[in-house]
Structure 1
Amino acid sequence: WGMMSKTEVRTRVHSNMLTQQRSKFINEYGRYASHILFCEFIDNSIQALHLSKVLKSCQPAGLSTIEVHLIFSWEPTKKLTHIAVFDRGPGMSDEALVGWSEMGKPAEQREEHSPGANELRLHNQTQEAPFQADGQLGFFGKGSKAAGFFYGECVTAVTKRSRDEPTRELRFDALKMRAAEAQHQEWDRNFIVTRHQGRDAILATDHWRDECPALLALLEAADAHASYSLFVVSRIHDSVAGEIDLHSVPAIASELRDVYYVYCDGLERGLQRMQERSSEGTAGTTGRTACFPSA
């Protein structure tokens, strides 16, 4: 009777908490979010571009845009295969990538390793709404990793801070996570990969070797910039590919421009355009690429 024993128990989060996002969004919001979850990535990029301005980073004219790329397969399927969001912001350090990778970590703690984050907060406090780059324009506030796994099974962050530094990559792969978990290994163990720039260095990286030419061209073009961040969602869920087809791209671009009209058109013109479109009752936008200037 006076004996006592202890058994160590570790409270671990199952990988499904990160990777199984589609049913969560549907249950919480009662509708599919495919057309507007891009906002989670765009908000991050808006903040990054404004951080560049606060830090007085060199941003040549015409480069302060955010690009949303939807990559489709060749004939006959024309199926969505990749989603990519690209900005020419200051890039991310190892510490910033680690902060981005952690689930549920408050933004203020993630920004501890982000030079100029405090200056950006002070800058925003001096600006009248809606010109604050606070990364809060998206509808869901779930974070880009959760949004990425809503769309597909693999989310990769690719970033570079200067021409003198290597490119850094951090990838979350649901298949590898589940395989590690099945073998009772640490599914949340990951690595930041550093590489040189250019096509040869990209192809030497295992997870890019068999990718489509369009994505390889995007990675190569990104490497040509002094600094950038690129988020890529791969292995798109079939249900998402069924919702986002070539014919839906103009409507998606139109909806995203409505969310970010201040950055796309300026406040006065944006409100005028929305009023005109409301009276006309039309979508009125064509094209397959949405760019968002960080006004």
Structure 2
Amino acid sequence: MIWQGNGEYESPSYNMRASQYGVSGIPHVEFGGTLTSIGGGGNMYPTYLGKYNQLINYDSPLDIDLSTTIIGGNLVTQADITVTGNVTTVDNKVLFIIIRYQDDDYFASVVSYDDMSFNLYNTGDTGQFENSVSIDPNWEIETLQSVALVQSWNTDQILQGSMMGVSLDNMFSLNCGFDGVVADTDEDGVVNPGESITVLLSINNESLLIEADNVVGTLTTDNPFVTIYQENIEVDGSINNQDGVYFEIDMDFDMEVSLGIVPFTFSVSAEYVDIYGNPGEFSRDYELSLDVSLFQKNWPVLTINQIESSPAVLDIDGDG
């Protein structure tokens, strides 16, 4: 896990963790909470491997059964912990951490941190520990990993850890977009100034297990030279999980419309009942676009030294 500090992606509780280990130089790496490596440069793999090998045969006194699911707008993590051998450290805590893949360098960056007291000590003791964190809209759920650690605040020793991905079974997700021009004035599938077109608008329920109910949407544009004839969309019935519906939207593009990208906003709302029976509401604005050009079907044909600038090509010297 990577705690980032003093930057755009600063990890929560960075200062607390840095203070706990007396961090001065970076990179500062901890193995098992007690074996330290400071500094980098060159090939650090042999150094890290040596630290790892000192811990590989550690017999943990704990077993952690970890699960993380989505409930509404929260990630809920549950750690069922069993003591399999007597715990001798004191001032122990359960740490709940969410990490995400940011890029190849920051592949396990900490984005959420919470802790709570852990008071099990004797073989056979069991406990259920739960933590809930609000989902940041900037997170890509598929890139997240949930981590639970039990660590002594007295010795810094990590007694046990467990990591898993976030279950997507209870995530509700719609995806919307334009799926192509299905009709236009000159029937070439290219949007030109002065044309009337029909574009296919899709609403896809990407949820693995949850149906979408009462789905409605409004399609708008700020471009004054575009007229939308079906601005308000209402789905008849439900959209099954992993299924979609399509609407044909008629539009007029005035001769005065500028060439290039015309932006649209499709505002969608829906209701659903999750796999635990909890009702939920969903709303999102999707930014869509259509490209307006002077091109025609199969034109331009790009060749070396091509100079024609419109579909009308004049044979100046009459040689064909």
TM bucket normalised to smaller: under 0.3
| Structure holding more helix per residue | 1
Q: Using CA pairs below 8 Å that are at least 6 residues apart, which structure has the higher relative contact order?
A: 1
The structure that has the greater radius of gyration is: 2
